[in-house]
């Protein structure tokens, strides 16, 4: 359980809306391509309406700063079934990396594996008091593309499971590439946070508005979006 899971949720019942006509996005969806069980494909690219409004502001701000840049969406709302699929996939990947062959019911014997996976992938808890951020429609994974539609290099790929994923990993880098990646990450963070989002402490690509993490980081007494 994360520290922000103690924040109570009073959902404002705002609906999910499609973001396809507002933003560019990775196509096909990275997780759908892997076989993630989306029951309703038409809702893959969806977020809460309030999140969409703020994201549009962030994209406008980014373009003011650099007219050749745009936000591109990697992942948005994630139903709990998809969260479970991706969590278990990350768990299996990490077990394979360590050369471990064990059943999932024995995973508690390897807390270091669980800890690493849960640092990046929220546990797919069915208790609505502790929803994974993406399952609320409040969280989004995104990055920046240039005027040619190419992803700009941010120092590591989205969903990378190591220290390079931490937003300020390159803060003290003295290499030319490292300093450039730090500038780009700060640009993304600044346009998103200025627009009302909070950044996940372990993931440079993950931002949210209205969920428990957002409330916790801003010292708010409640979150306004729960699992949907």
**Residues 10-34 pLDDT 10s:** 999 999 999 999 999 999 999 999 9
**15 in a domain, yes or no?**
yes
The pTM of this model reads 0.94
Contacts of 139 (CB under 8 A, 6+ apart): 78, 133, 206, 207, 208, 211, 213
16-18 and 139-145 as β-strands: parallel, antiparallel, unpaired?
unpaired
Instruction: Report the CATH number at residue 8.
Output: 3.30.1380.10
Tokens found for residue 3: 């520290």
Per residue in 165-209, pLDDT tens?
999 999 999 999 999 999 999 999 999 999 999 999 999 999 999
CA–CA separation, 179 vs 6, rounded Å?
A: 36
Sheet with 206-208, edge to edge strand ranges: 24-25, 70-75, 139-145, 206-208, 198-199
Domain of 69, in residue numbers: 3-77+126-217
**117 in a domain, yes or no?**
no
Please count the structural domains in the chain. Answer: 1
The residues facing 223 across adjacent strands are 9
Hey, which residues are catalytic here?
Answer: 203
Peptide bond into 28 cis (omega under 30): yes
CA–CA separation, 109 vs 102, rounded Å?
A: 10
CA–CA separation, 95 vs 45, rounded Å?
A: 30
């Amino acid at each position: 359980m994360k520290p922000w899971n103690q924040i109570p949720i009073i959902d404002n019942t705002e609906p999910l809306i499609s973001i396809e006509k507002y933003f560019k996005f990775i196509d096909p969806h990275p997780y759908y391509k892997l076989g993630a069980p989306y029951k309703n494909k038409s809702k893959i690219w969806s977020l809460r309406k309030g999140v969409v409004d703020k994201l549009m502001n962030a994209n406008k701000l980014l373009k003011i700063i650099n007219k050749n840049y745009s936000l591109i969406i990697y992942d948005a709302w994630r139903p709990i079934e998809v969260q479970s699929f991706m969590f278990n996939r990350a768990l299996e990947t990490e077990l394979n990396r360590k050369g471990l062959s064990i059943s999932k019911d024995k995973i508690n014997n390897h807390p270091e594996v669980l800890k690493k996976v849960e640092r990046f992938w929220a546990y797919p808890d069915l208790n609505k008091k502790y929803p994974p951020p993406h399952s609320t429609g409040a969280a989004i994974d995104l990055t920046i593309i240039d005027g040619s539609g190419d992803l700009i290099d941010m120092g590591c790929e989205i969903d990378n499971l190591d220290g390079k994923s931490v937003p300020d990993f390159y803060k003290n880098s003295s290499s030319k590439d490292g300093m450039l990646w730090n500038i780009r990450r700060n640009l993304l963070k600044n346009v998103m946070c200025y627009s009302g989002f909070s950044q996940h402490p372990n993931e440079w690509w993950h931002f949210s508005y209205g969920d428990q993490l957002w409330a916790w980081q801003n010292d708010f007494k409640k979150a306004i979006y729960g699992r949907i």
